[in-house]
Amino acid sequence: MRLRGSYRRRLLGFVMGVSNSPDNQDNGQSDWQLDYLFSIGRASWIVHLSVCALTFVVLIRRDVGSWSLVWISAMAALSLALAGLSHTYAKGWFPRVPRSAFGKAHSAITAAIGLVWGAGAFASAAQGELDLSVLYALALGGTALGAVSSQHALPRSCLLSIWTSVPQLAASFLVYAQNPSMFAIATMVLLYGVTLTILMHRMFDFLSDNVAISRDLSRKNAKLFATSAQLKEAHDAKLRFLAQASHDLRQPIHAIGLFVECLRGMRLGTDASEILASVNQSVSSLSRLCRSLLDLSAIEAGQVKPEPVDFALNDILGEVVRQSQESARKSSAELRFVSTRHWVHADPALLQAMVQNLVSNAIKYAPNAKLLVGVKRRQGKLALAVVDQGSGIPEERCEKIFAEFERLDVHRGGPIEGLGLGLSIVRRLGHLMDLTVRVQSRVGHGTTFWIEELMPIASRKVAAVKLARDHHRVLEGLRVLVIDDDRAVRKSTAQVLARWGCSSRATGRIDSLRAEVDSTDFILCDQDLGGSTTGLDLVTRLRAATPKIIGAAIMTGSDSEQLRADAARAGIVVLAKPVNPSQLRSLLLSAVSGKYYNSPSSAATRAAADRVETSSERNTADT
């Protein structure tokens, strides 16, 4: 055992004044030992003085003589000296005095107190009354035990307290009478001293181990905090990188997408059309990757906040299925949708993004399979289901697929687009809206993704909106002012607007636009204009300069909640780059139809601005 193997070495160290405790120092004791010792020193020595006073009262009543006055005077002086020493150390009144000096002074005074206790034992025995010696022995034994309790942090003082008093007490019984009974009592007194020493040793071991553990925990906590800070810094750097990378990629992708839209309206040969289709598909893929990176960084940065409203589930589910039909056809998958009459109170844009990700994921990983989107009622709540009859997911992978950049190896055999962020984004968006996202799958039978905990509300009747038959020509003559500091973006935007029949003027100058406002129906402005003036400030100033009601939209590569909030208060729509041409056309159609002018923040306009396109075929859609 540890006690047996190290006791002799430790005891020698204690007597020599060398501590085997944590952070052992040359001065014989560690700072923590003195801190612990003196933190209770003042109170413990006042208690000791009280015990001495009671003992003195007993001695006076037994009329032992004048030596009791000398004894109590010495005890009082020494006890008060130790109490004062403890108080001085705790207050730090003498910072230049080495701490080791306080420890040595404590040991010296403690030894003196032990000697006084021992002298009193001999004086009591000299009275020739055994009961008085026994009573004194009880007082001395109690104070010795108290010394172990209060001084075990500094073994040297504790040993001096025990072995300067207990041996004298044992010898005092032999002074009283030298017979077997007294020898037995003296032996028991010495064994009591040994017991106190062992107890002190164990208490010091326990205290030292606790200090070592505490300091080890402190060091580990410091390392943990440092590591946590490094991880946070790396995490923040990752978010900054994702945001900056997506921002830098958005501008050229935005321009390329608009140029591709212009080319689609031209008469091209078969080969050129196929090349254009490939370019368009690549641009769409790159746009989705960029949007995924931005979505992830926005969610982790806390910039995405749900804005729940009442809406019909059938609207967003039907829209997702309709947008995904072309992708499903190319994947030879059969995508079906079970219509529902349920209404819910949630954020429609976030919920649509979740369902869209799940449907796109099913199309990618379950080609040539049947896919189903529907709603199921469970215990008074609603659950959205996206079901596929694909190859399924191994059970041990079912939770891992929700991690960032996690992708399955089982697929249709060719390369799969994406970074493996879709399901991670779905679960994070679900967490934001207090929804549960889970998966059920059997290898060889298929997979079902659930979005649960949707709260149903009472259905409402909404009048259907019919578009005029000539809505393809609604944008003809619409006067659009395009403001962007990027020449490629200005040129591509102007060409797309011209193809739609709009009359546009594109400029990168912001100091001479006042005259343009009166002949403008809609302002399309970049948020970052390369100077101190932002797009939102410019559009607000231009609209305020005319009594005419002018629709406006801000295009930005650095989307934020603050920007959207400020724009919403000004009645301006925010479009996140890269802007899909059909997304832009939907907004312009909404403006021309009168919805924009009647209510700048109307649900129709926001829906048009927030619509996320997933199929390249949607680029030619009107609304």
Task: Please choose, from the candidates 424, 448, 300, the residue with its C-alpha nearest in 3D space to the C-alpha of residue 370.
Answer: 448
Give the other-Cβ count within 10 Å of 617's Cβ.
Answer: 18
Of the pLDDT bands very low, low, confident and very high (cuts 50, 70, 90), residue 437 is: very high
Query: Per mean pLDDT, which range of 4-18, 419-433, 437-451, 459-473 is the poorest?
Result: 4-18
Pairing of strands 551-556, 573-576: parallel
User: What's the pLDDT at 221?
Assistant: 92
Percentage of residues in the chain with pLDDT exceeding 90? 18
In-domain check, residue 210? no
> Higher-confidence residue: 541 or 277?
541
Of the pLDDT bands very low, low, confident and very high (cuts 50, 70, 90), residue 330 is: confident
- d(Cα 196, Cα 193) in Å, to the nearest integer? 5
**What is the residue range of 333's domain?**
308-457
Do 498 and 541 contact (CB within 8 A), yes or no? no
> Higher-confidence residue: 26 or 533?
533
In-domain check, residue 198? no
Residue 15 has pLDDT above 60, yes or no: no
pTM, two decimals, is 0.48
Q: What is the pLDDT of residues 448-474, one digit of tens each?
A: 999 999 988 887 765 544 444 454 567
Q: What is the pLDDT of residues 478-525, one digit of tens each?
A: 899 999 888 888 888 888 888 888 998 888 888 778 778 888 889 999
User: What's the pLDDT at 622?
Assistant: 31
Q: Are residues 589 and 509 in the same domain?
A: yes
Task: Please choose, from the candidates 281, 230, 389, the residue with its C-alpha nearest in 3D space to the C-alpha of residue 615.
Answer: 281
Q: Are residues 330 and 418 in the same domain?
A: yes
- CATH number, domain at 429? 3.30.565.10
Of the pLDDT bands very low, low, confident and very high (cuts 50, 70, 90), residue 249 is: low
In-domain check, residue 297? yes
Residue 288 has pLDDT above 90, yes or no: no
Q: What is the pLDDT of residues 114-149, one digit of tens each?
A: 999 999 998 888 888 888 888 889 999 988 998 888
- What mean pLDDT is predicted for residues 158-184? 87
Q: Which of 152, 178, 204 marks a domain boundary?
A: 178
Q: Are residues 342 and 285 in the same domain?
A: no
Residue 20 has pLDDT above 90, yes or no: no
Percentage of residues in the chain with pLDDT exceeding 70? 79
Q: Are residues 272 and 398 in the same domain?
A: no
Number of domains in the chain: 3
Of the pLDDT bands very low, low, confident and very high (cuts 50, 70, 90), residue 568 is: confident
Do 53 and 72 contact (CB within 8 A), yes or no? yes
